[in-house]
């Protein structure tokens, strides 16, 4: 069993405990957590950009290593995404809900890089949750 499968099984087995710990952490660290919230990021794009730049400068080697490791472990996925971006245009709307916002390509099988559907971000997220057995 590889690490990804193990983590998935661990999460599914211990979901309630993990969610309880997250809830406890959020309540104990409200100020810190709120500073990192989506709302804070939306309201403070300059500060967020500055924080990101500082982190990236401080951790260049770590980031390069992570990127290299990701590409190595997900070569099929990376190649499929790149090929689809070059060769397949997005349709005008989501193929599930007909939304025209935040359109993305969704691969059902990375072995077939040119077989993609156009989905909005929300439907795309749901499809991934379904494929992981989350819904």
Question: What integer is the mean pLDDT of 67-78?
Answer: 81
Which residues are 106's β-sheet partners? Answer: 117
Pick 3 or 132 by higher pLDDT.
3
Task: Give the tens place of pLDDT for each residue, 15-58.
Answer: 888 888 888 887 887 766 666 667 777 888 898 889 889 999 99
Q: Is the pTM of this model over 0.85?
A: no
Task: Give the tens place of pLDDT for each residue, 5-17.
Answer: 888 888 888 888 8
Interior CA angle at 101 toward 95 and 102, to 5°? 90
Q: At 135, list the tokens.
A: 């819904």
Residue 133 pLDDT class (50, 70, 90 cuts): low
Residue 3 pLDDT class (50, 70, 90 cuts): confident
Question: Which of 36-50, 92-106, 115-129 is predicted least confidently?
Answer: 36-50
Q: At 55, list the tokens.
A: 């982190």
Q: What are the φ/ψ torsions at residue 115 (nearest 5 degrees)?
A: -100, 95
The yes-or-no verdict on residue 134 having pLDDT over 70 is no
């Amino acid at each position: 069993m590889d690490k990804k499968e193990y983590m998935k099984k661990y999460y599914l087995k211990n979901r309630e405990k993990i969610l309880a710990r997250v809830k406890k952490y959020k309540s104990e660290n409200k100020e810190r957590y709120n500073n990192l919230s989506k709302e804070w990021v939306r309201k403070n794009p300059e500060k967020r950009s500055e924080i990101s730049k500082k982190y990236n400068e401080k951790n260049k080697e770590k980031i390069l290593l992570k990127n290299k490791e990701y590409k190595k472990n997900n070569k099929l996925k990376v190649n499929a995404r790149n090929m689809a971006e070059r060769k397949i245009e997005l349709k005008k709307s989501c193929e599930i809900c007909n939304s025209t916002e935040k359109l993305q390509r969704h691969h059902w099988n990375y072995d077939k890089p040119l077989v993609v559907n156009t989905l909005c971000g929300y439907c795309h997220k749901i499809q991934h949750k379904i494929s992981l057995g989350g819904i």
